[in-house]
């Protein structure tokens, strides 16, 4: 008893002595640390600002119609095309010029942002959700589950993605849902592979053993104890996957397998501009630049997120 009380008193004394310094070196949440590192990264912050701006343009696309007075699909055949029927260059009425049907390119880019960002985010989330569940299951249960799922991952990764995606979309009919499903279906395998690798080592840690000895169910261990520890990797991968998905969606549209006209979408706009690049540079340039800025911003931001979570990697 007496020994115990001495010990207690001893630790109290130590705590009182160290109190001011201890407060100063208080353990910080790793998420908070990552966020602080990210906030100091100027390039990443500027990229984030650009992404937010594009998202705002997408959400408030009708404002562009309000200011210009041009709905996205209205064809201005008199003011919007030359007497020869060619697109009109940037001017006071059409700030970024018009396309081959006399439609306002600026307004169509703003509406197109909805498709690019929407598909980019939704298809990425779908991909990551499937990949995380499959990777968790494969790494956690091992044995036959792992063997079957790992073979499935191998099969998906051996498929010439783009060709089969095109065939699928062509057969099932183009459209937004189809695009999202096709991208999600073919992209989850690499996420699953990353998650599986991480889970294999995490499941051997002491705290997982502790949870199991306390009677936690497999499902609880998977989602409460293991998942949060792979989340950082998953978030990094997600931010870097969004631009890839955006380009894939645009590429499908470019080949005529995305959204059908007259819906404004960047890949489709670039496809329509193909025959006009010699007479109307703005027709191909502006939708292309919009696409490039978006993917560049996501890639720069993704790099920043990776460095924030793992300062040793990347731009060391």
Partner 1 sequence: MFRFLILRILQGILVLWLITVAVFALFFVVPSNVARTLAGRQATPRTIHLINHRLGLDQPILKQYWDFISKAFHGDLGYDYYHQIPVTHIMAQALPITLSLAIGAAVIWMALGVFNGVVSAIHPRSVADRSMTVFALFFYSMPSFFLGLMLLFFLYYKLTLAGYKWFPAGGYAPLSQGVGQWFLHMVLPWLTLALVLAATYTRLTRSSMLDVLGEDYIKTARSKGLNERRVTYRHALRSALTPVVTQFGIDLGQLIGGVVITETVFSLPGLGKTAIDAITQQDLPVIIGIVLFASACVVVANILVDLLYAFLDPRVRLS
Does residue 277 touch partner 1 according to CB under 8 A?
yes
25, with CB counted inside 10 A (0-12, 13-18, 19+), is exposed
Does residue 40 touch partner 1 according to CB under 8 A?
no
Considering only 85, 160, 228, 261, the residue that binds partner 1 (CB under 8 A) is 160
Could you report how far apart the first and last alpha carbons of the chain are, in Å? 54
SS (H, E, C) 231-255: HHHHHHHHHHHHHHHHHHHHHHHHC
Q: How far is CA 55 from CA 115, 117, 118, 230, 278, in A?
A: 11, 7, 9, 28, 31
Does residue 167 touch partner 1 according to CB under 8 A?
yes
- In the shown chain, the binding pattern of residues 216 to 245 toward partner 1, with x for contact by CB under 8 A and - for none, equals ---------------------------x--
Considering only 55, 121, 164, 211, the residue that binds partner 1 (CB under 8 A) is 164
Does residue 178 touch partner 1 according to CB under 8 A?
no
Does residue 144 touch partner 1 according to CB under 8 A?
no
Q: Cα(267)–Cα(288) distance, rounded to whole angstroms?
A: 8
Nearer residue to partner 1 within complex by CB, 77 or 167: 167
**Taking the CA of residue 199 as centre, how many other CA atoms within 13 Å lie in the half-sphere pointing to its CB?**
29
Does residue 81 touch partner 1 according to CB under 8 A?
no
Does residue 129 touch partner 1 according to CB under 8 A?
no
Q: Which two tokens stand for residue 315?
A: 């731009």
Residues that bind partner 1 (rule: CB under 8 A) add up to a total of 46
Considering only 95, 141, 161, 223, the residue that binds partner 1 (CB under 8 A) is 161
Which residues contact partner 1 by CB under 8 A?
151, 154-155, 157-164, 166-168, 170-172, 243, 247, 250-251, 254-256, 267, 270-271, 273-274, 277-278, 281, 284, 288, 291-292, 295-296, 298-300, 303, 313-316
């Amino acid at each position: 008893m007496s020994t115990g009380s001495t010990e207690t008193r001893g630790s109290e004394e130590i705590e009182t002595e160290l109190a001011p310094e201890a407060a100063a070196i208080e353990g910080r949440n790793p998420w908070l640390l990552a966020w602080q590192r990210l906030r100091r990264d100027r390039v990443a912050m500027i990229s984030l600002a650009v992404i937010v701006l594009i998202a705002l343009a997408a959400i408030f696309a009708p404002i562009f119609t309000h200011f210009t007075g041009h709905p996205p699909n209205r064809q201005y055949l008199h003011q919007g095309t030359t007497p020869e029927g060619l697109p009109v260059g940037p001017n006071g009425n059409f700030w970024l010029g018009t396309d081959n049907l006399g439609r306002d390119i600026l307004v169509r880019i703003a509406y197109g942002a909805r498709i690019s960002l929407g598909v980019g985010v939704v298809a990425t989330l779908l991909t990551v959700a499937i990949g995380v569940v499959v990777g968790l299951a494969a790494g956690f249960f091992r044995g036959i589950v792992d063997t079957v799922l790992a073979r499935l991952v191998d099969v998906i990764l051996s498929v010439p993605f783009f060709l089969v995606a095109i065939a699928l979309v062509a057969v099932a009919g183009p459209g937004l849902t189809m695009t999202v499903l096709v991208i999600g279906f073919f992209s989850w395998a690499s996420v699953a592979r990353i998650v599986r690798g991480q889970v294999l080592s995490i499941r051997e840690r002491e705290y997982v053993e502790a949870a199991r000895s306390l009677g936690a169910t497999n499902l609880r261990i998977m989602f409460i104890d293991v998942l949060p520890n792979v989340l950082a990797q998953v978030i990094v991968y997600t931010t870097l996957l969004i631009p890839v998905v955006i380009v894939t969606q645009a590429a499908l549209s470019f080949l005529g397998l995305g959204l059908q006209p007259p819906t404004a979408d960047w890949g489709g706009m670039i496809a329509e501009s193909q025959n006009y690049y010699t007479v109307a540079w703005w027709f191909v340039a502006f939708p292309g630049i919009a696409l490039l800025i978006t993917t560049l911003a996501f890639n720069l931001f993704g790099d920043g997120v990776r460095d924030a979570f793992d300062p040793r990697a990347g731009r060391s």
